[in-house]
Every structure is written in C-alpha cells, then in structure tokens.
Chains A and B, each alone.
Chain A
Amino acid sequence: QVQLVQSGAEVKKPGASVKVSCKASGFTLSSYYMHWVRQAPGQGLEWMGVVNPSGGGTIYAQSFQGRVTMATDTSTNTFYMELSGLRSDDTAVYYCTRSITDWGQGTLVAVSS
C-alpha cells in the first residue's frame, strides 16, 4: 500500500537551513505530482509547492520562492524539501503529499535561538 514516511523532528537556529525527507513506498515517485504543505501551530494548512513527475519541474508558492528547493531522488524513491534562511515563523509541521490523496505523517521543524 501507499506509504509516505518522513524524517524526524528538527530544531534549528534562525538563519539555518533544514532538509526534510519523505520516503515513498507502494508507488514510484516519478509517476506522481508530489507536494509539500506546512501547518504552523494552531493554524491552517499552507501549500508550499509541487514537483512535476514529467521532467521534475517545480512550482513554488511565491512566499517561499528563493528559499525553498524540492526534489526527488528516483534511486531511493525519496522526496526532499530544503528550506533556507529559517525564521521563527517557519516553525511548523511539514507534510509531503502524493497528489491530493496521500499524506506523510508530518515533520515538526522548530526554529528558535
């Protein structure tokens, strides 16, 4: 069955970068649009961007452009998201999703000095 297993929680200092992984099983990443969505504490969901399975092209939400990179590693069937220049308001749970149907368990990224 489809599974998305994300890496563990991270604590980072302001200005640092974080890389979150999403290991896929039960399907091939290169056949599906893959997204990252985040949720700050007590807040709603915020779409961050998507990777196109055909050619690996990316579309990022404007609020993350220049700070985020999303990519897939087909050799390990793993999806990654790297966010740089972290600020305290980047503290959130980050989810990877397969299309709109399947979600990872979430990864808490806490940014604090």
Chain B
Amino acid sequence: EIVLTQSPGTLSLSPGERATLSCRASQSVTNSYLAWYQQNPGQAPRLLIYGVSTRATGIPARFSGDASGTDFTLTISRLEPEDFAVYHCQQYGRTPYTFGQGTKLEIK
C-alpha cells in the first residue's frame, strides 16, 4: 500500500502568513489522484483539493496544491482565522485509499 507521510505534524503561524504543508508518498500516485481535506474539531473532513491541484467547489483561491514527483504540497497563501484546522492528504489512485496522519495548523 502507498504510505503518505505528512509534515510537519504541527505548524504554528499567524493570520496573514503563508502556510506550506507537505505530503510525501512512498511510491508514485496513480493518475495524480491526490486530495487534501480540511477538518475542524467535531466535524467531518471537507474536500479542498483533488487531482493534486484542482480546487473543489467553493474553495477560496488562497488554497493551492502542487506536486513534484512523490512530494505534494498544499499552500495557503494568506491565512485567515478560519483556516486553522487539521489538514489531511489522501491518495485515491490505488486501493487501499490511504491517508496521511494529518497536519495541525494552529495559531501562533
């Protein structure tokens, strides 16, 4: 199975700053089927990005995704207060559709 390793585990930043979250895959992700989710406490995850870089419906343009080989990045260009949450990456190109362990983005 494809193992996804997210870093850092926790990222402390201030509103207005730029956030860069990483997700490294243990092998190639089929068809660039890599997604990012945002999860707030007590809520279900919400899809942000699919296909490495396509924003889901209603997701602001400050969220962007990119890839270099098996390294994937979620960038939030300018943090808003509502962006502080946990972020998960998932590969859905090959079963089992594995997730990373998550990155917590907290207010500094």
Size of chain B's interface in residues, with CB distance under 8 A?
20
| B61, CB-defined interface residue at 8 Å | no
Fill in one digit per residue for A19-42: 1 if any B CB lies within 8 Å of its CB, else 0. Answer: 000000000000000010100000
| B19, CB-defined interface residue at 8 Å | no
Once the chains bind, are A44 and B99 in contact (CB under 8 Å)?
A: yes
Once the chains bind, are B97 and A35 in contact (CB under 8 Å)?
A: yes
Once the chains bind, are A101 and B44 in contact (CB under 8 Å)?
A: no
What's the count of A-B pairs with C-beta under 8 Å? 42
| A104, CB-defined interface residue at 8 Å | yes
Given the interface pairs A44-B102, A45-B45, A45-B90, the reply to whether A100 lies near B96 with Cβ below 8 Å is no
Once the chains bind, are B47 and A44 in contact (CB under 8 Å)?
A: no
Contacts of A101 in B (CB 8 A): 47, 50, 56
Closest A residue to B35 by CB, please name it.
A100
Given the interface pairs A45-B88, A103-B45, the reply to whether A50 lies near B102 with Cβ below 8 Å is no
Residues 40-59 (chain B) with a chain A CB within 8 angstroms:
44-47, 50, 56
How far, in whole Å, are A54 and B95 apart by their CA atoms in the complex? Answer: 17
| B100, CB-defined interface residue at 8 Å | yes
Contacts of B46 in A (CB 8 A): 103
Once the chains bind, are B50 and A100 in contact (CB under 8 Å)?
A: yes
Contacts of A104 in B (CB 8 A): 44
Fill in one digit per residue for A88-113: 1 if any B CB lies within 8 Å of its CB, else 0. Answer: 00000001000011011110000000
How far, in whole Å, are A35 and B44 apart by their CA atoms in the complex? Answer: 14
Once the chains bind, are A44 and B100 in contact (CB under 8 Å)?
A: yes
A100's partner among B44, B90, B95, B102 (CB-CB below 8 A) is B90
| B101, CB-defined interface residue at 8 Å | yes
